[in-house]
Structure 1
Amino acid sequence: MIELYGACPGFGLPDISPCVMKVFMYLTITKTPFTWKAQDWASMATDAPYGKLPYIIDTDNDNKRVPDSSLIIEYLESQYGTSLDKKLSAEQRAVAIAFERLIGENLYWSCLGTSRYLSDAGWEMYIPYLLQHSPPDGSTPVPPELRAFLDAYRQSILDDFVGQGMGRRDVPCIVEFYKRDIDALAAYMGDNKYFMGDEVHTIDAAVYSMLRECADQPMQWEGTGYIESKKTLIAYMERMRAEFGV
């Protein structure tokens, strides 16, 4: 059995992390038996091989721990033969890799880095989801020591945001990068049933997860609504949700 360790559910999604969502979707698409488990934040540095989410534990393989969404998928392919990309040509695989990098290295930071971490209002709205408060409306008090931990976590993400490069730009520039990337996804997919054609592939797990995380989150920012302006992307998300139930 695969145990997938993630952050927490939110926004109507099984996990608020697009990287965890990517693995969740891949496991769902490939019909691989798994259980999702919430990671204890206090022990993540020692539990997670890379000190971050996601990671899996394969209880059928000596409790092997595998970190990183891409490495997890590679492991599942090699260990359980779950590949969705056997029919892709070398050129198509190259395109899929390029779009996966666009999603993980650009869209993650332009959308989520800005809306959840850079924006003070977005961060305050995000905290109740991180803490699983019910309702997540900010009405539940946060103890000072926990608040200090959360603010330090936020600062570490913002440091990464700047270090990655996206965070060195001003917000209007970030929004333009975001829109160009969404335009690229919409233009490439066109009227395809799935991102690369009539069959679902690994890249769909990444594309769908990031689109849902950006479109469904309640945090409003300068890029809010842009995905919704792309009818092909909305139709794609509706098809994926209907087919896979996520």
Structure 2
Amino acid sequence: MITLYQYPPALGVGNLSAFCLKTEAWLKLSGLDFKIEHVFDPRKGPKNKAPFIRHEGNQIGDSTLIIEYLKDKFDTRVGREMTTEENAVANAFQTLIEEHLYWCIVFNRWIEDENWSLTKEIFFGKMPSIMKAIIPNMARKSVVSTLYHHGLGRHSRKEIYYFAEKDVKAISDYLGGKRFFHGNDFTEIDLCIYATIVNMRINDFKGPLKGLIKKYGNLNDHCDRVAEYIDFSMKQNMRAA
């Protein structure tokens, strides 16, 4: 049995971590047997972050490495296999999303004062009072430091959201009027896009990010199509079983 360790659902979204949401969606589509354990402390994982899995004594962290491990272990894929060219494009966009746009989302949730109270309550609200008075601010300072050393945190608020829009526009421009990112067929990169856009359009978080999804409406539509695809595929897997 595969055990997926990730944060619990919140704010009406399957997971506030796009990496967790992507991994869970991949597992659902794969038809593999798995269970979910919710964690708040990512230090329990091999890379001090969520998601991570345990399987046959192996512990694997990082959504991409988890998926690659499961592909090799069970010789399974989700969606249409990408061509060499499509895979190259997918890798480039995945890096844009997970190594750049992701940090704009982190800034929005952890650094923006208007969102910090909500973020603090979600991730630290169940802590004992003594810990809750100390740990959240320590965690926030750590995020500030990480953003600075990443490079994005050295920019102004206006510049950070400028970069976010450039990333979102690039995804939207490539998607265009296609049903999925690489055409009519669902491919794995669609999960990465879906998990990120779902998180950007959460109404509870204030700021420009959710407005970008309204501005580039084909991403909103893509999000809904992927959700429908996942739901349909899960039903088909259940019937096949």
- What is the TM-score when the length of structure 1 is the normalising length? 0.87
| Partner residue, 1:146 | 132
Moved over 3 A (4+): 84-87
The equivalent position to 2:85 in structure 1, one of 83, 87, 91, is 91
Greater share of helix residues, 1 or 2? 2
Measured at CA, do residues 212 and 86 of structure 1 come closer, stay the same or move farther in structure 2, by a change above 3 Å? closer
- Does residue 19 of the first structure (1) align with residue 31 of the second (2)? no
Task: Map 1:86-165 to 2 at 5 A.
Answer: 87-110=81-104, 112-131=105-124, 143-165=129-151
Question: Which secondary structure state, in structure 1, belongs to the residue aligned with residue 225 of structure 2?
Answer: helix
Deviation track 1:17-57 (CA, whole Å, cap 9, x = no partner) reads 1111110111122222222211152xx42x31111111001
Distance, in Å, in 2 between the alignment partners of 1:132 and 1:14 is 19
The letter of the residue matching 1:51 is N
Distance, in Å, in 2 between the alignment partners of 1:161 and 1:211 is 21
Name whichever of 176-185 and 77-86 sits farther off: 77-86
The equivalent position to 1:56 in structure 2, one of 48, 53, 56, is 53
**Structure 1 spans left out of the alignment, 5+ residues:** 134-140
Distance, in Å, in 2 between the alignment partners of 1:18 and 1:86 is 22
- What is the TM-score when the length of structure 2 is the normalising length? 0.89
Measured at CA, do residues 219 and 40 of structure 1 come closer, stay the same or move farther in structure 2, by a change above 3 Å? closer
Question: What RMSD over aligned residues (CA atoms) do the two structures have, in Å?
Answer: 2.0
Contact kept? 1:8, 1:130, Cα under 8 Å? no
Measured at CA, do residues 40 and 170 of structure 1 come closer, stay the same or move farther in structure 2, by a change above 3 Å? closer
Question: Which secondary structure state, in structure 2, belongs to the residue aligned with residue 124 of structure 1?
Answer: helix
| Partner residue, 1:177 | 163
The letter of the residue matching 2:108 is S
Contact kept? 2:26, 2:78, Cα under 8 Å? no
Contact kept? 2:198, 2:223, Cα under 8 Å? yes
The letter of the residue matching 2:89 is V
**Post-superposition offset of 1:114:** 1.8
Give me the identity figure in percent: 25
Contact kept? 1:117, 1:123, Cα under 8 Å? yes
